Amino acid sequence: MKTIRVDVSAAADDAPTRERVARALMEGGPSTAADLAGDLGLTPAGIRRHLDQLLADGIIAPREGRADEHRGRGRPAKVFAITDVGRDHFGHTYDDLAGQALRYLRETGGDEAVMAFARDRLADLESTCVAAAQSSDDAVAAVAEVLTADGYAASVESSTAGEQLCQHHCPVSHVAHEFPELCDAETEMLARVLGTHVQRLATIAHGDGVCTTHVPTATPREVTQKVTQR
C-alpha cells in the first residue's frame, strides 16, 4: 500500500491535511483547487502545496475541466482526481488472495459459480439497503448512505431522466476488473432494492473515475419487500 510521504520541511500537520485532500477527491470526485480550498478551509497557497505533493506522489492526477467550469473567460479551471494509487492508499477489501480464490472457483465451478458467489456476498448489504429504502422518502439517497457506510463513498446526482447513484470508491475494484460478475451482481441488487431497472454507466474497475448507475424516474420505484431468495 502506498503511503503519503511527508516533507521534512513541511509543517507537522501536513500529512493529515493531505489525507483530507485525497479523501475529499475520492469521496467527492474531481474538483478544482479553489473548491477544495473552500471545502476544507485551506488557503490558496496551502491547497497548492498539498496538491503539488499529492501529484508528486501519484496520489492524484490533473484533468481538463469541463466547459461549465470556466473561470470567466479563458481555459476551464484545472480539476484534480484521485488515481488508482490514491485509492490503494485507502485500502481494498480484496486483493491477491481473493483473486486466487475466484480463479479457483471459476476453474472448478465455471462462470455460474463465480456469479453465485458474487450475488451471495451482497446478501447482507442488500438486506440493509432494503430496510433503509423502505423507511425513507428518498430511496436512492437512503441506499447511498448505506453504501457510504460500507466503504463505497456514494452520492446522488440529478440527471435529465432520473438520478445517478455515484460510488466514488470501490472496495473490490482490483478484483472486479478481472471478475465483472461482482459489478453485475451489484447492479442486479440495486435494481431489486429500488424496484426498477437500473443501468450501470461506468465502473472504477474498468478505468472510470466513478461507478455510476442511472436510476430512471419514469418507472415508479417500488422498494422490494423482501430480499430475493437464492
Q: What is the pLDDT of residue 8?
A: 33
Grid coordinates representing 173? 475494484
Q: Which residue did the predictor score with more confidence, 93 or 166?
A: 166
pTM of the entire predicted model: 0.62
Q: Are 136 and 142 in contact (CB under 8 A)?
A: yes
**Residue 70 scores a pLDDT above 60:** no
Sign of CA dihedral 204, 210, 216, 221: positive
Sign of CA dihedral 102, 107, 108, 114: positive
Q: What is the pLDDT of residue 219?
A: 41
The predicted model gives 133-147 an average pLDDT of: 95
Which of 163-167, 170-174, 208-212 shows the highest mean pLDDT? 163-167
- Residue 61: strand pairing partners: 81
Considering the four listed CATH numbers 3.40.50.1580, 1.20.120.160, 3.20.20.70, 1.10.10.10, the one that applies to the domain covering 14-89 is 1.10.10.10
The predicted model gives 9-20 an average pLDDT of: 66
Dist CA 17 CA 42 (whole Å): 9
Q: What is the pLDDT of residue 91?
A: 58
Secondary structure E strands in 43-160: 60-63, 79-82, 154-159
Q: What is the pLDDT of residue 114?
A: 96
> In this structure, what DSSP letter does residue 172 have?
T
Q: What is the pLDDT of residue 97?
A: 79
Q: What is the pLDDT of residue 95?
A: 61
> In this structure, what DSSP letter does residue 152 have?
-
The residue extents of the domains of the chain are 14-89, 96-216
CA-to-CA separations, 124 to 32, 88, 209, 211, in angstroms, rounded: 37, 25, 26, 21
The predicted model gives 174-192 an average pLDDT of: 94
